[in-house]
């Protein structure tokens, strides 16, 4: 019976994602695998209605969990990217401000030199 393999799949998926070692690509691959298992189960004629319903429910829960993990990983990556862009922008603004200040100081010195001549 494949109930134990579904349970084993669910356990290994939860363990690997809880460790934080899974990337979005790995999660998407797991999602595709679970979606295929769900399609296969829905097309299966060998199990009783109750067994089939239990398997489908387990697969649906795993799919929902992985989709949530993908969204969290993408949100984290977007936030990290946004923070980097913001930091880069702050650095560029600081450099620009320093450049403007240096330019103004140079003009002031030139004016003072011209005035003293």
For the segment 69-108, what is each residue's pLDDT rounded down to a tens digit? 999 999 998 888 888 777 777 676 666 666 666 666 666 5
- Of 96 and 10, the structure prediction assigns the larger pLDDT to 96
Give the whole-angstrom CA distance, residue 29 versus residue 7: 18
**Structural domain containing residue 13:** 3-86
Whether residue 14 contacts residue 65, with contact meaning beta carbons closer than 8 Å, is answered with: yes
- 79 assigned to some structural domain: yes
- Residue 9 pLDDT > 50, yes or no? no
- 10 assigned to some structural domain: yes
- At residue 46 the predicted structure's pLDDT band, cuts being 50, 70 and 90, is confident
Give the whole-angstrom CA distance, residue 95 versus residue 98: 5
- 91 assigned to some structural domain: no
- 109 assigned to some structural domain: no
Rounded average pLDDT over 43-52: 87
Q: Using alpha carbons only, what angle is made at residue 4 by residues 44 and 63, rounded to the nearest 5 degrees?
A: 65
- 111 assigned to some structural domain: no
- 19 assigned to some structural domain: yes
- 13 assigned to some structural domain: yes
Whether residue 58 contacts residue 10, with contact meaning beta carbons closer than 8 Å, is answered with: yes
Q: How many domains does the chain have?
A: 1
- 37 assigned to some structural domain: yes
Mean pLDDT of the chain: 75
């Amino acid at each position: 019976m494949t109930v134990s393999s579904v349970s084993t799949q669910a356990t290994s998926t939860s363990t690997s994602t809880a460790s934080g070692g899974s990337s979005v690509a790995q999660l998407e691959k797991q999602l595709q695998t679970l979606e295929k298992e769900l399609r296969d189960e829905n097309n299966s004629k060998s199990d009783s209605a109750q067994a089939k319903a239990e398997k489908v429910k387990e697969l649906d829960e795993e799919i929902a969990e992985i989709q949530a993990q993908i969204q969290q990983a993408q949100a984290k990556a977007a936030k990290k990217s946004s923070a980097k862009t913001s930091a880069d922008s702050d650095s560029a603004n600081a450099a620009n401000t320093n450049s403007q200040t240096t330019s103004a100081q140079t003009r002031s010195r030139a004016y003072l030199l011209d005035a003293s001549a």
